[in-house]
A and B are shown apart, each in its own frame.
Chain A
Amino acid sequence: MTEQIITPSANDKNDTTTHNPETHNFDATDSYNFAYLDEQTKRMIRRALLKALAIPGYQVPFASREMPMPYGWGTGGVQVTAACLTPDDCVKVIDQGADDTTNAVSIRSFFARTAGVRTTEATDEASLIQTRHRIPETELTEGQLLVYQVPIPEPLRFLEPRETETRKMHALSEYGLMHVKLYEDISQHGHIATAYAYPVNVEGRYVMDPSPIPKFDNPKMSDCAAIQLFGAGREQRIYAIPPYSHVKSLDFEDYPFDRLRAPGACALCGADDSYLDEVIMDDQGTRMYVCSDTDYCSTRHERGHVGDQSDLFDSEEG
């Protein structure tokens, strides 16, 4: 135990120069570096990102830092975003597809505060989108970055809890256990009983956890024009899918992968192709279905699309 940390003396605590020797766009009230992380840490993360892009689907260990929000709240995604941001970026943050869920609001304001970057709710305006549990409905374009928050990066974890074992299985492409699991699902339930975090194979090599997105979103990962980056802070892993990579959801010839969504159309914008949230309206069990992607829904609404309860939209705005 020779590791000792040198801390500045009490007098140095408010000395901003200890935090930030060299960067611009600096918020003096916070006395933290641009986008919070120091430049050394960003460099370490960027190296991991480059490696991850070079080996699609492979989990690269990285020295995840403690962030000022808890593990489980998106610290991996936040670190990846922080390492990728430039002052010209425009950031969108969604949680459950929505820009206005509490954690999305919190992370967006974190970057607005520590990096001073522009923020947006419009998918097509954003240069970087950080997401938890969804891929936007609007097709992503070249030049965009999609950053996923990942809780458990290891797709084999619940089949084999030991990292030391699963790393070997990946190295040897030993994915039989996963196929057996999917097969057993079918034999017991008649379906592959995985509705989210549905495993994929990237470019015919690594089996990868797509993060807990509903399997409805899986096909959007394949042949995607945007760069997809995945950050798991607590588990200290980064992985990536380069643009236009082939991403295949695992399945069998006689039980092909199928997307799953609540049937019907959005009650607010009438979309019948989007992923729907089920909202319980009263204690009689009345339900309505609305788009989980709030930007997609409101954009459609603005363009004149209506659902059968669109009046709620207007009352929300008013």
Chain B
Amino acid sequence: MYVAVKGGEHAIANAHQWLGEIRRGDTLFDALSLDQIREQLALSVARVMAEGSLYDPDLAALAIKQARGDLIEAIFLIRAYRTTLPRLGYALPVDTSSMRCIRRISATFKDIPGGQILGPTFDYTHRLLDFRLAADGEIGAASKAEALSEDVPHILELLNRDDLIQEEELTNAEPGDLTREPLALPASRAVRLQALARGDEGFLLGLGYSTQRGYARNHAFVGELRIGMVAVEIMIPELGFAIEIGEVEVTECETVNQFQGSKTEPPQFTRGYGLTFGQQERKTIAMALVDRALRWRELGEDDLGAAAQDEEFVLSHCDNIQATGFVEHIKLPHYVDFQSELELVRQMRRDAATRQRRQQDD
């Protein structure tokens, strides 16, 4: 009996073996290859890369396989790997206006220079189960069009030209890095955006949604949403110029938000911003809503006490690796603390019973 409450090496080893077996599933069926995961579960891969903050589709596919499809577990694997990687350098800011877009839409204008490109979206699919996929039916290749060769300017810059939208301050200040410095509050917007980009999709979705339902409503439209490849460049000091070291797929969302104006600012539109690795529209739109809500102080708006406005609340709780660790850790042994509480409760019950007896005697 006494032995049974103790864990030990043997139990752990057995658990890991069982996990390995059950991960593989029934060997009647082929094992998943990383290529299959990367190619066919690309949106899972994108989420793991974004919240794992490491752009590597192959490793993300491996993590998803190892995690049995549990994306937060996969994100955790990627984070734990990422933290061991040496920093070779910092890239220059990516230029999303020279993105090779596979999708680009604006909700605020009917037509836009460069055109609206729907791209590979679920938006207008009817959500009917496609049984051809279950029957392994191959679906034919899509038709092709000529790619645009020129840069694609951001739509909101058009408003900027007329001074109708608040201009973001250009700064060459070095952005903070949450993975190298502890979070200090209040945080700069750059640090906030980094936290949101790594933050849990579900958490941001809920918070963004809450702003739309009136908890610090900020009247947002999607000014522009674009998905595509951008070049990553790094400055080589020995050469004196930047060279391109690769491309990453990103999703970028800029919201345009109504703004009544303040004591110092005339009425004009304002922005929220979202950017993530991979194709992740839901996350980037939610991120932009939350980013905008967090800007209340800078824009001279009222603190309405809404969760999405509360920087400390949002930044302290948006990381799903932190959250899942702490939430799940209560399954670890706590019997020493519990024993201590048990003794205290017993002592307090004894005292209460004594008091009651005394009162009855009186």
The reply to whether B58 and A63 form a contact with Cβ atoms under 8 Å apart is no
Q: A196-B336, A278-B342 are in contact. Are A70 and B82 (CB under 8 A)?
A: no
What are 23 sample pairs from A and B whose C-beta atoms fall under 8 A apart? A4-B94, A5-B54, A5-B85, A6-B234, A10-B58, A65-B83, A68-B80, A70-B329, A71-B321, A72-B326, A73-B332, A96-B335, A102-B7, A195-B343, A196-B336, A212-B337, A215-B340, A236-B183, A262-B343, A278-B342, A279-B1, A281-B1, A292-B336
CA A134 – CA B124 in complex, angstroms? 58
Contact residues of A: prevailing secondary structure: loop
Binding-face segment, B147-155, B190-198, B296-304 = B190-198
B87: shortest Cβ distance to chain A, in Å?
7
Binding-face segment, B8-16, B115-123, B212-220 = B8-16
The reply to whether A100 and B6 form a contact with Cβ atoms under 8 Å apart is yes
Q: With an 8 A cutoff between CB atoms, is A92 at the interface?
A: no
Residues from chain A with a CB closer than 8 A to the CB of B242 are: none
The reply to whether A105 and B90 form a contact with Cβ atoms under 8 Å apart is no
Given contacts A8-B88, A196-B336, 4 further A-B contacts (CB under 8 A): A62-B182, A102-B11, A193-B348, A195-B341
Q: With an 8 A cutoff between CB atoms, is A308 at the interface?
A: no
Q: With an 8 A cutoff between CB atoms, is A172 at the interface?
A: no
The reply to whether B326 and A151 form a contact with Cβ atoms under 8 Å apart is yes
- Contacts from A to B (Cβ < 8 Å): 1-8, 10, 13, 18-19, 32-33, 36, 38, 61-68, 70-73, 75, 95-98, 100-103, 105-106, 109, 133-134, 151, 162-164, 189-191, 193, 195-197, 212-216, 234, 236-237, 260-262, 268, 275-279, 281, 288, 290, 292, 312, 316
The reply to whether A1 and B334 form a contact with Cβ atoms under 8 Å apart is no
Q: A72-B325, A101-B6, A101-B7 are in contact. Are A6 and B340 (CB under 8 A)?
A: no
The reply to whether B328 and A196 form a contact with Cβ atoms under 8 Å apart is no
The reply to whether A18 and B337 form a contact with Cβ atoms under 8 Å apart is no
Residues from chain A with a CB closer than 8 A to the CB of B97 are: none
Residues from chain B with a CB closer than 8 A to the CB of A1 are: 93, 175, 190, 193-194, 197, 273, 275
The reply to whether B328 and A4 form a contact with Cβ atoms under 8 Å apart is no
Q: Which of A33, A97, A151 contacts B329 (CB 8 A)?
A: A151
Residue of A nearest to B87 (CB): A6
The reply to whether A101 and B333 form a contact with Cβ atoms under 8 Å apart is yes
For chain B, residues 12 to 41, give those with C-beta under 8 angstroms from any C-beta of chain A: 12
Residues from chain B with a CB closer than 8 A to the CB of A65 are: 83, 179
A36, A215, A277, A312 interface centre (most CB from chain B within 10 Å) = A277
The reply to whether A3 and B175 form a contact with Cβ atoms under 8 Å apart is yes
The reply to whether B336 and A2 form a contact with Cβ atoms under 8 Å apart is no
Residues from chain B with a CB closer than 8 A to the CB of A98 are: 6
The reply to whether A261 and B343 form a contact with Cβ atoms under 8 Å apart is yes
Residues from chain A with a CB closer than 8 A to the CB of B12 are: 102, 105-106
The reply to whether A234 and B326 form a contact with Cβ atoms under 8 Å apart is yes
Residue of B nearest to A263 (CB): B343
For chain B, residues 170 to 205, give those with C-beta under 8 angstroms from any C-beta of chain A: 175, 177, 179-186, 190, 193-194, 197
CA A189 – CA B11 in complex, angstroms? 42
The reply to whether B340 and A32 form a contact with Cβ atoms under 8 Å apart is no
CA A63 – CA B351 in complex, angstroms? 47
The reply to whether A191 and B7 form a contact with Cβ atoms under 8 Å apart is no
Q: Which of A95, A191, A281 contacts B333 (CB 8 A)?
A: A95
Residues from chain B with a CB closer than 8 A to the CB of A5 are: 53-55, 82, 85, 87
The reply to whether B336 and A96 form a contact with Cβ atoms under 8 Å apart is yes
B13: shortest Cβ distance to chain A, in Å?
10
The reply to whether A73 and B325 form a contact with Cβ atoms under 8 Å apart is yes
Q: With an 8 A cutoff between CB atoms, is B3 at the interface?
A: yes
A110: shortest Cβ distance to chain B, in Å?
11
Residue of B nearest to A105 (CB): B9
A190, A196, A279 interface centre (most CB from chain B within 10 Å) = A196
B217: shortest Cβ distance to chain A, in Å?
24
Q: A18-B85, A72-B332, A102-B8 are in contact. Are A3 and B194 (CB under 8 A)?
A: yes
The reply to whether A4 and B325 form a contact with Cβ atoms under 8 Å apart is no
Q: With an 8 A cutoff between CB atoms, is B356 at the interface?
A: no
Residues from chain A with a CB closer than 8 A to the CB of B76 are: 66, 70
Residues from chain B with a CB closer than 8 A to the CB of A10 are: 56, 58
B22: shortest Cβ distance to chain A, in Å?
19
B192: shortest Cβ distance to chain A, in Å?
10
Residue of A nearest to B329 (CB): A72
CA A189 – CA B5 in complex, angstroms? 33
Q: Which of B79, B341, B344 contacts A66 (CB 8 A)?
A: B79
Residues from chain A with a CB closer than 8 A to the CB of B94 are: 2, 4
The reply to whether A276 and B7 form a contact with Cβ atoms under 8 Å apart is no
Provide the B44-67 mask, 1 if CB < 8 A to any CB of A, else 0. 000000000111101100000000
Residues from chain B with a CB closer than 8 A to the CB of A234 are: 322, 325-326
A96, A109, A164, A260 interface centre (most CB from chain B within 10 Å) = A96
